Amino acid sequence: MSRFAYALLAGVALVGAAAAPSLAQSTAFNGPYVGLYTGYNFSDAETKTTGLSQDLNQDGWSYGGYLGYGQTFDRIYVGAEGEIGGNDLKGSKTLAGRVTSLDANETYGLSVRAGYLVTDNALVYGRVGWQRTNYEINSGSLSRHTDLDGVRFGGGVEVAMTENVVARLEYNYTDYDKLNYNVGTANYSVQPDGGQLRLGVGYRF
């Protein structure tokens, strides 16, 4: 079973467990919403070739937008969210005598969220989902763009600033699939993973 399938199963379990109470209450976190985010990413991409293994460290800013829907059941919150954005995430390393660089570009994903209302205006939540990001790898004569799928886990705090405006602070970790490539007769692989700390501001309808 793929990591994406495991993530979906975990998300279904989160939603199922959280949705056990039957009576919904009207709060600032109910209904559809849209928002914008910005954050800082830091990643360790493990690069390998025969007999060698090194971490290719990346860091940089991310930005984008999200939309979703959520509902509270007593003090339990469940919801689903989609996002699209971009990255300015770069890093390079010399491996087997070749300078290898890896840049992250556009990204999008889907996730489920479940949490608890610690007050009527403050929500603590976790998320699990799927993320796809476009990477550009350059190594010797090779220059290649490819999309990598990843499993994302995270959590944060969301606060209702007004009746319709909500702000959030969250941390996410994403583990991407491995990319295999060749430069001449040499075989290489790179597998990005890393964290993201970001701020978001949303509007609930």
Confirm or reject CATH 2.40.30.20 for domain 3-204, answering yes or no: no
Mean pLDDT value across residues 3-18: 46
Reported as a pLDDT band with limits 50, 70 and 90, residue 138 is: confident
Q: Where are the domains of the chain?
A: 3-204
Mean pLDDT of the chain: 85
Six-digit token string for 71: 């509902």
Question: How does residue 25 score in pLDDT terms, banded at 50, 70 and 90?
Answer: low
**What is the DSSP secondary structure assignment for residue 185, as one 8-state letter?**
T
Query: Does the pLDDT of residue 13 top 80, yes or no?
Result: no
**Above 80 in pLDDT, residue 176?**
yes
Mean pLDDT on 135-151: 89
Residue 126 and residue 152 in contact, taking contact as beta carbons nearer than 8 Å:
no
Q: Is 15 strand, coil or helix?
A: helix
What is the mean predicted confidence (pLDDT) over 144-148? 92
Question: Mean pLDDT over residues 156-173, rounded?
Answer: 96
Q: What is the mean pLDDT of residues 120-145?
A: 92
**Contact (Cβ atoms closer than 8 angstroms) between residue 77 and residue 113:** yes
- What pLDDT digit, counting tens, does each position of 83-116 carry? 999 998 888 877 767 788 888 999 999 999 999 9
Beta strand 179-183 with 142-160: parallel, antiparallel or unpaired? unpaired
Alpha-carbon distances of 37 from 22, 23, 85, 197, rounded to whole Å: 32, 32, 9, 10
